[in-house]
Amino acid sequence: MDRRLGPGRLGGLRQHDGARFARSAEATGSLISDEEVVAWLRRRKVVNQFAVDRIAFGELDKWSFAASTGDLAHDSGRFFAIQGLTVTSQFGPVHAWQQPIINQPENGLLGLLVREIDGVPHFLVQAKMEPGNPHTIELSPTVQATRSNFTRVHQGAKIRYFEHFAGPGRGRVITDVLQSEQGDSFYHKRNRNMVVEVTGDVEEHEDFRWLTLAQINRFLARDSTVNMDIRTVLSTLPMSTEDDDQSTLRTALSVNVPARYGFDELLSWLTGLKCHYEMTAERMPLREVADWKRTEYEISHVEGKFFSVVAVSVQAETREVVSWTQPMLTPARPGIAAFVMRHIDGVPHILVQGKPQPGLFDFFEVAPTVHCVNADYRNLPRSVWPPYLEYVLEAPARYSVLHSEEGGRFLNRENRYMIVEAGDDFPDDEGKNYRWVTPYQLRKLASLSNCVNVEARTLLTCLASLW
C-alpha cells in the first residue's frame, strides 16, 4: 500500500534546498582537497598545545562534593553536576536501579554555517579539541557551545561565529530543532541543532575550513574523525533527487516513497510505547547511590560495569579558556549501534526500535536496531542477547566505523556504528517495540524534538553519507 506523508517530494524552498545539498553531496570539486584537510587537522594538533591528564578529585579546581548530598558540582552552580538517579521501569529484565547521572539543564547550541561557493554549498567546520576525544581534534560544527559558554560564565573568549545563529544579524535558517543527547548518561540534556545559510563573505579563521558535504561524507568513513555534534546536526539536512527509482537509497532518503507504515502510524506507535510502559527517574544524592563506590580517583560500579566518573585537567590553547579541570564519564567498554536494512516491496526500509533511557524527557525515543555494549554479553548465552545483536555481528556490513561520542563530557567513549543489509533469512515480523521505516520517514521523525535518539541520528547521517 502507498502510504505517504503528503506530496511525493519536498515542496517549495525546502525542495530547492534539498537539491542544492544533494549537489554538495555529489560535488567532485572543493576549495581544498581531502589531503589538505588531513594536513590541516595534523597542523592544528601540532601548532596548538593540548594535554589531558587524569587527576584525583581533590585536585579539581572550583569543583567539589557537596557536604549534604555528595553531588559533584561547580562552585558557580553553572555548567553541570554529577548527581544520583533512581530508576524504576516495566521495560526489560531489570526493573529498578540507581546510577550517577550528568545534570546539565542548560540547552546548548550546535550550529553549522553553510555558504554557496562557486554554485556548491560548503559547510564551515571547525578543528575542535575536546578533552574526551580519543584523538584530541575532530571535525566539529561551526558553533558548539553550552549556554554557560556563550554567556561567558567562564570569563573566556567570545564564541566565534555565534552572531550568525542568534540575534538580528543571523542568516537564513535551514533547520532548527531541539534534540536530546545520551539518555543513559544525561538527565534531560538537549541541544539546539541549527543549519544557517549566509550569503556574504565570512572570514575563515585558521581553525575553520569550508568543506562540501561530499567531503564530510568521505570523512565519516574514517574512525573518530567527525564528531557527534556535526553528525546530529546533519541528520535533518534536506536532500532531494530527481531519480524516480524507488529501490535506491538516494530516492528513499529524499522522497516519500511507499512505506510499510504511514507517518501518523509511526508517531502513534512511539506515543503508545511512551504511555504503555511505566517508568520513573528521580534525582537523588550521589552519596546514596547503591552499588557504586567512590575512591580518590573515580566513582565506579562495584562490578566494574557501565562507566566511571573521573576527574581530568585540560590544557587547550584554542579553547575559550586555555586550562581548566572538570569531571568526566568514561565507559567500561565501547558500544555498538547498528541499523538493519532490507527492501520491502522494492523500497529500502530500516528496522528501528523504541528504546527507553532514564535521562530522556519522555523516556522513549526511536533508536537503532541494535544499541548496546556487546562486550557485556560475550560470555552469556545467546538466548539473553539483545534482539538482532547476533545477526548484526555476523552479517556483512555496508558501513562499519568507530565514532567517538560527546568529547566534552565523556572520556574516550566510542561506539561502532554499523549498517547491515538483511538477507532473505531475516524475520519479517518486527514485534511490538520495533518498526520498519523508510529513511525519509526517519529523517522526518528526526526533524521533531524528542523522537529520535542521538545514536540513531548519527546512523541516519552515516546512511546519507552513502548517497
Beta bridge partners of 211: 123
Residue-wise pLDDT tens digits, 379-400: 888 888 999 999 999 999 999 9
Percent of the chain with pLDDT over 70: 95
- Can you name the CATH fold of 1-49+62-287+333-467? Nucleoside Triphosphate Pyrophosphohydrolase (3.90.79)
Q: Cα separation of 173 and 197, whole Å? A: 6
What would the grid cell of residue 174 be?
Answer: 535551514
* Alpha-carbon dihedral 278, 284, 288, 294, rounded to 10 degrees: 110
pTM of model > 0.75: yes
Whether the CB-CB separation of 306 and 410 falls below 8 Å is answered with no
Q: Quick one: the chain helix, strand, coil %, rounded to 5?
A: 25, 35, 40
For the residues of 268-299, what is the DSSP string, one character each?
A: HHHHHHHHHS-EEEEEE-GGG-TTEEE-SSEE
Place of cell 548518561: 185
Q: Which amino acid is at 467?
A: W
- b/e burial code for range 141-153 (CB count within 10 A of at least 16 → b): bbbbbbbbbbeeb
pLDDT value of residue 8: 37
pLDDT, tens only, 217-271: 999 999 999 999 999 999 999 999 888 788 899 899 988 899 999 999 999 999 9
pLDDT at 11 over 90: no
Lowest mean pLDDT across 11-15, 160-164, 264-268: 11-15
Does residue 375 surpass a pLDDT of 90?
A: no
Cβ neighbours of residue 36 closer than 8 Å, sequence gap 6 or more: none
The residues spanned by each domain of the chain are: 1-49+62-287+333-467
In this prediction, residues 269-282 reach a mean pLDDT of 96
Mean pLDDT on 275-279: 93
| Lowest-pLDDT choice from 248-252, 305-309, 323-327 | 248-252
Cell digits of residue 88: 524504576
Calculated CA dihedral for residues 445, 140, 111, 124, nearest 10 degrees: -120
State the CB neighbour count (10 A cutoff) for residue 89: 17
